[in-house]
Chain A
């Protein structure tokens, strides 16, 4: 990282105290808008969430200190356990599939062929489509009487499945739609990574006459690893924060099979008016994301190959 170097304080040539004070004040002035906003809308609410998690609280604020009771309560509740299960399954269904799909599409369209731009635009297009709009489209496709999935099932002679109403299929259905929604962004990032790889490496490989798979394994994937590392981290964090498609497609149901953690926080805080429990879950979410990021950086540093 070259950040550490240029962040070292450089002694100014004239260390007049007055001039230093001025530079100090001016520097902070430029940062002040960010610092105030981060303070009010990121750090304060984070500490407030931790604080509220030790109280019985509603939307008006805390009213009784209960220590760790909120945590004890949620950790032993069936609802939270099913929410953890739904979240983990959702992450496992969406992250690997989404990245593999994006990688596959990016490899396909990294070739220099006439008209390839159309495909690049097409594959990245879901990035421009909001979660709400995409969810409505998928809701139509999952519709048991007129949706395309039922039509295909009917045509193949299978019984129609109530995709979003069946506890066995709802999470899978939401995951499938999420893979589609997130593919555009992952695709754009991976394609960018592929295009940054030095073309000389491929020219040399061509001269040496190696196979495509060998080239993929020995050149493309190692050189792409920083990009892949980034998109894996971002995808994991995004998956933990999923809300919109759940709210529109299933509302956490049926029988809480799609009640992922953020939806559960939302429901407790804004529908059940149990802010204490919502805050405790938010703290758990925070530590999960923190742990995951730390873990990935630790693992990633060893595996990732930087140019």
Chain B
């Protein structure tokens, strides 16, 4: 690339070459699987907690709620060193386990879903109790389906954030087979910087395309969901 304002010719060669320079396909797959697992994990764990906060009354609930709030005050970066050591001692480095499990619990996600669960009429819950439906079935067959929209919002948010995660994968992966696409981008940039910007930029486009599409598809939902979870 020479720095002309307009390119002199167009070709898709850079896109083919970027797959040869780094194992981009492996990285893409790793990012996809990691983000999907975290998304499902966060949806499950957060919705279970939110359900307990809204529909159940028991000793210690206020205390746990306070604990959830306090996790938002702890910057994740302040705890990364012991977390890294934990993952190392569990033997979870370079595996999906280390990339996903630490992120399953999410206070923000719990609050967002709690907000939505609170709009579900309490009578529905009481009726299910009278009919003798177990809480777990009520949760699975009634609450989750009627909260589809909030779940999708949280799902998009969690997929986006995890696809774009940088520092944690940098710490817990050091093999080519375990790396995610963001770290691959760094590798590509360090390797190719002097020789060919075109290839690096092809890599950039491939990496941002999935999340951009997801953002465009879910923009309205995200905007609504994030404001609700945040403000109210």
A42-B79 contact, Cβ under 8 Å, with A130-B208, A193-B227, A244-B167:
yes
Any chain A CB within 8 A of the CB of B19? Answer: no
**Contact for A266 among B48, B167, B204, B224, CB less than 8 A:** B167
Q: How far, in angstroms, from A41 to B77 measured CA to CA in the complex?
A: 12
A42-B74 contact, Cβ under 8 Å, with A140-B201, A189-B226, A192-B224:
yes
Q: How far, in angstroms, from A148 to B125 measured CA to CA in the complex?
A: 60
Any chain B CB within 8 A of the CB of A84? Answer: no
A34 touches B81 (CB 8 A): no
Number of A-B contacts (CB under 8 A): 243
B189 touches A139 (CB 8 A): yes
**Contact for A45 among B86, B201, B231, CB less than 8 A:** B86
Q: Interface size (A, Cβ < 8 Å)?
A: 84
Q: Shortest beta-carbon distance, B72 to chain A, in Å?
A: 8
Q: Interface size (B, Cβ < 8 Å)?
A: 80
**Which chain A residues border B200 with CB–CB below 8 Å?**
136, 140
**Which chain A residues border B45 with CB–CB below 8 Å?**
33-34, 37
With CB as the reference atom, state the residue of chain A lying closest to B45.
Answer: A33
Any chain A CB within 8 A of the CB of B3? Answer: yes
Most A Cβ at <10 Å: residue of B160, B166, B203, B207: B166
**Which chain B residues border A227 with CB–CB below 8 Å?**
227, 230-231
Q: Shortest beta-carbon distance, A77 to chain B, in Å?
A: 19
A44-B186 contact, Cβ under 8 Å, with A27-B52, A38-B68, A136-B200:
no
Instruction: List 12 A-B pairs, Cβ < 8 Å.
Output: A27-B57, A34-B49, A34-B110, A41-B86, A128-B214, A128-B216, A130-B166, A146-B1, A151-B3, A151-B5, A270-B84, A286-B75
Q: Pick the 4 closest A-B CB pairs, nearest first.
A: A146-B3, A128-B215, A37-B105, A27-B58
Binding site for A on B (CB under 8 A): 1-3, 5, 44-46, 48-49, 51-54, 56-62, 64-65, 67-68, 71, 73-86, 88, 101-102, 104-105, 107, 110, 118, 135, 160, 163-164, 166-167, 170-171, 182-183, 185-186, 189, 197, 200-201, 203-204, 207-208, 211-212, 214-216, 219, 222-224, 226-227, 230-231
Binding site for B on A (CB under 8 A): 3, 6-7, 9-10, 12, 20, 23-24, 26-28, 30-31, 33-35, 37-38, 40-46, 48-49, 52, 59, 61, 120-121, 124-125, 127-133, 136-137, 139-140, 143, 145-147, 151, 188-189, 191-193, 195-196, 226-227, 230, 234, 237, 240-241, 243-244, 247-248, 262, 265-266, 269-270, 275, 278-279, 282-283, 285-286, 289-290, 293
Taking A129-B208, A189-B223 as known contacts, 17 extra A-B pairs with beta carbons closer than 8 A to each other, sorted by chain A number, are A27-B56, A27-B61, A37-B45, A37-B101, A41-B101, A59-B84, A121-B219, A131-B164, A132-B164, A132-B186, A133-B204, A133-B207, A147-B3, A195-B223, A241-B75, A265-B81, A279-B81
